[in-house]
């Protein structure tokens, strides 16, 4: 299959592009490199440095005879979305809408969208949250993701564009960018290696559902199947407090780093975990890498990066 991976020079996208190549698909990566790295694009993938809103994207889809799109290109900073909602909407709504229109114009058969289960549900009524949980997003980032989900339903009804939405919990693993706030695990690992204290915003009691990028990649390969249609949570169903996460990383690293606390971020939800039962029942997917194994792997990656 000819697959376009947008954001394929970024953390999750590059892992997916590599896995698609290993599965003998033909892969094209499109990334504007605003956050990704050219070096992260796997060998064997065609690469176009281009913004989603560039009119030339349509010609790329035609030239590469794209049959499926895996859409990971996004403005990923929740903090940035709060500071500049217009910029976030231009990137995450308008850019995606342009891509969807191009997909329809080129006869693309499948569209896989990376959404957010960690943020789209907002303050949850139950734990873990299933796909039928009310969506009450608290930030422009999460609002944009939900908006795109509605657009996907529109394109399915009106243009027969089949899609799979994958609502991720908090993804972590080797290759994650530690510069910014997108990945607390990556930020903590980088600070550990630099001998700096780990800074937690708030009291550390806020919980998240941490999922390995390896398990996320497997879900994305399943999502390419013609029968994989609709919306699916991709998480572990387990809550881990940010304080417990920091303590685990300090222990695993063998370092004597301090944990410090800063003022809470008003837009952060308190607790989050999502139920992966639907994806398990439909396709047999389940998280396989434990949190401790994933953290050790990620620590090793950052240690090697700094040596």
Active site residues: 141
Question: In this structure, is the dihedral angle defined by the CA atoms of residues 77, 79, 81 and 87, taken in order, positive or negative?
Answer: negative
Instruction: Give Dmax over CA atoms of the chain in angstroms.
Output: 58
Residues 6+ apart with CB under 8 A from 32: 49, 50, 51, 52, 73
DSSP state of 181: S
Q: Say how far apart CA 14 and CA 10 lie, in whole Å.
A: 6
Neighbours of 282 (CB within 10 A): 15
Q: Could you tell me how far CA 47 lies from the centroid of its own chain?
A: 20
Strand partners, 211: 171
User: Is residue 287 a contact partner of residue 232, using CB atoms and an 8 Å limit?
Assistant: no
Q: Say how far apart CA 213 and CA 225 lie, in whole Å.
A: 20
User: Is residue 200 a contact partner of residue 262, using CB atoms and an 8 Å limit?
Assistant: yes
How far is the first Cα of the chain from the last one, in angstroms, to the nearest whole number? 39
Question: In this structure, is the dihedral angle defined by the CA atoms of residues 6, 12, 135 and 288, taken in order, positive or negative?
Answer: positive
Neighbours of 32 (CB within 10 A): 19
Q: Say how far apart CA 247 and CA 307 lie, in whole Å.
A: 24
């Amino acid at each position: 299959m000819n697959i376009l991976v947008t954001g394929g020079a970024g953390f999750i996208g590059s892992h997916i592009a590599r896995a698609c190549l290993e599965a003998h698909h033909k892969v094209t990566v499109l990334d504007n490199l605003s956050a990704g790295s050219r070096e992260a694009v796997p060998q064997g993938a065609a690469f176009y440095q281009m913004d989603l809103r560039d009119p030339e994207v349509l010609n790329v889809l035609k030239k590469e005879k794209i049959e499926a799109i895996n859409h990971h290109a996004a403005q990923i900073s929740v903090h940035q979305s709060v500071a500049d909602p217009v910029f976030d909407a231009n990137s995450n709504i308008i850019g995606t809408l342009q891509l969807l229109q191009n997909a329809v114009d080129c006869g693309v058969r499948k569209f896989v969208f990376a959404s957010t289960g960690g943020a789209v549900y907002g303050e949850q009524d139950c734990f873990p949250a299933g796909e039928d949980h009310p969506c009450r997003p608290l930030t422009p980032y999460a609002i944009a993701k939900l908006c795109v989900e509605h657009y996907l339903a529109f394109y399915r009804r009106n243009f027969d564009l089949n899609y799979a939405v994958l609502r991720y919990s908090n993804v972590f693993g080797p290759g994650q960018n530690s510069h910014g706030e997108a990945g607390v695990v990556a930020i903590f690992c980088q600070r550990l290696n630099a001998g700096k204290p780990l800074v937690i915003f708030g009291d550390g009691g806020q919980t998240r559902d941490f999922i390995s990028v390896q398990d996320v990649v497997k879900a994305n390969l399943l999502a390419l199947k013609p029968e994989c249609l609709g919306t699916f949570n991709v998480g572990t169903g387990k809550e881990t407090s940010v304080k417990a996460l920091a303590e685990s990383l300090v222990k695993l690293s063998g370092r004597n780093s301090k944990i410090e606390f800063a003022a809470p971020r008003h837009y952060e939800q308190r607790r989050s975990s999502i139920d992966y039962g639907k994806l398990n029942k439909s396709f047999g997917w389940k998280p396989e890498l434990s949190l401790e194994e994933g953290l050790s792997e990620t620590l090793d990656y950052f240690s090697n990066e700094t040596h």
